[in-house]
Amino acid sequence: MTAITIREVPDSILETLKVKAAQGGKSLQAYLLDLVTREAATPTLAEMMARLDRETRAEVSTSDVLSAIDEGRERR
């Protein structure tokens, strides 16, 4: 595995991260590794848009939609 170093972290940020790690019962290293792992697993907005585009394609014409509306009205 590779080690990552983050330089120039403000003291207030470091203290906040230490507190959050302790509240979660984790070391700072384990907490940050979980945080980075979750971020890496989260799809970007562009990836989500591409997925939505792939999965929500519908081959329905305007006339199909209008016909369905007419049929629904006739059933009333």
pLDDT at 72: 93
| pTM metric for this prediction | 0.63
Say if CB 34 and CB 26 are below 8 A apart.
yes
**Tally of structural domains, the chain:** 1
Average of per-residue pLDDT across 69-76: 92
Q: What 8-state DSSP symbol labels residue 42?
A: S
- What domain range is 45 assigned to? 11-74
pLDDT digits (tens, 9 = 90+) for 13-59: 999 999 999 999 999 999 999 999 999 999 999 999 999 988 887 78
Around 14, how many Cα atoms within 13 Å sit in the side-chain half-sphere? 6
pLDDT at 6: 96
Is residue 68 included in any domain, yes or no?
A: yes
| DSSP H or E stretch at residue 4 | none
One-letter amino acid of 15: E
User: Within a domain: residue 62?
Assistant: yes
- Kindly state whether residue 44 falls inside one of the protein's structural domains: yes
Residue corresponding to tokens 């369905």: 68
Residue-level pLDDT at 26: 98
| Separation CA 24–CA 59 (nearest Å) | 48
